[in-house]
Chain A
Amino acid sequence: MSPTTTRHAEQFDDAAQQREAATFGMWTFLATEILFFGVLFAAYTVFRTLWPDAFASGSRHTDLLLGSLETAVLLTSSFTVALAVRDIQLGGRAMAMWLLVATAILGVAFLAIHGVEYYADYKAAVIPGIRYEEVGSLAPAKQLFFVLYYVTTLFHGLHVTIGVLLLALMARRVRRGDFSADEYTPLEISALYWHLVDIVWVFVFPLYYLVGRS
């Protein structure tokens, strides 16, 4: 496992072909991830169509400031991981490692902010099945909003956690000199994964935080 060499597995003609196959495999995986979250988005579309007032009311319970901050944090993390890949492509190393560390820290910050939101939700008693004290005609349908909100954000949080671990591993490998300007496929596909996690949140934000604000 000598670092900074352009090795490739025997079934490939060269490192470029191997990288293309790995990238294609990653995009195929990302397509399945879109469907994974797509089921939740489809359920959201159905329930919101059936109970629009309950969803608008439920959305007003979410913290818009923290949601916006979380979005900004994830968008910035996409920027830093893209810069890390760029640095490696240009033959860099130290800067790429710190950019990956910064991206992982932004991921942890996102999870921490979301933890604050969950705690506030617990205190406000809007967690169905655990602590739910909403009353009124919209209360039963609002449970559907909150159930979908927690399932979606918890699964997204799980993906962020996996991404943080992946990025930390990539930072370690960059530090060790495992990648070069010619061979950085694991870093590239890890960055693709992180960007998808960002894209999912880009859609979660308006659907769960911006409804019924006018």
Chain B
Amino acid sequence: MNAKPPSTGAHLMALATLGFLLATSVFVAHFHLGAFNTFAGPAIAVLKAMVILFFFMKLGTGGVPIRFAACFGFVWLLILITLTMGDYLTRMPLGIR
């Protein structure tokens, strides 16, 4: 059951990747890239979260039930935001038909 843990060097590499992604997100935020500005920060945050989930939290080596539990947290969040935005973006001012 106890898989051999990753080396200290691999942990350092993960930290360096996270530092690079942090610097990239701050750097990119200072350029006017139109609509891309809205998505760049969250997209880089997803990459950072992936590094933490799969390297530090070892999600990839967990059993199927663990991966399901982790996935469903994010799936429910996606459903919540999609349905909420679906409502707000399709509302029209009162009186207009």
Residues of A within 8 A of B (CB): 16, 19-20, 23-24, 27-28, 30-35, 38-39, 41-42, 45-46, 49-50, 64, 68, 71-72, 75-76, 78-79, 81-83, 85-86, 89-90, 181-182, 191-192, 195, 198-199, 202-203, 205-207, 210-211, 213-214
Report whether A30 and B70 are in contact in the complex, using a CB–CB cutoff of 8 Å: yes
Q: Summarize A's interface: helix, strand, loop or mixed.
A: helix
Q: Which residue of A lies closest to B70 (CB)?
A: A27
Q: A27-B70, A35-B73 are in contact. List 16 more A-B contacts (CB 8 A).
A: A31-B72, A31-B76, A32-B73, A38-B77, A45-B84, A64-B26, A75-B22, A79-B56, A82-B14, A86-B6, A89-B2, A195-B56, A198-B52, A207-B41, A210-B41, A211-B29
Known A30-B73, A46-B84, A207-B42; judge A195-B1 contact (CB<8 A): no
Report whether A27 and B25 are in contact in the complex, using a CB–CB cutoff of 8 Å: no
Q: Which residue of B lies closest to A34 (CB)?
A: B73
Cβ-based interface call for B94 (8 A): no
Report whether A39 and B52 are in contact in the complex, using a CB–CB cutoff of 8 Å: no
A33 / chain B contacts, CB cutoff of 8 Å: 73
Q: Which residue of B lies closest to A85 (CB)?
A: B5
Q: Which residue of B lies closest to A19 (CB)?
A: B1
A71 / chain B contacts, CB cutoff of 8 Å: 22
Bound form: Cα–Cα A195–B12 in Å = 16
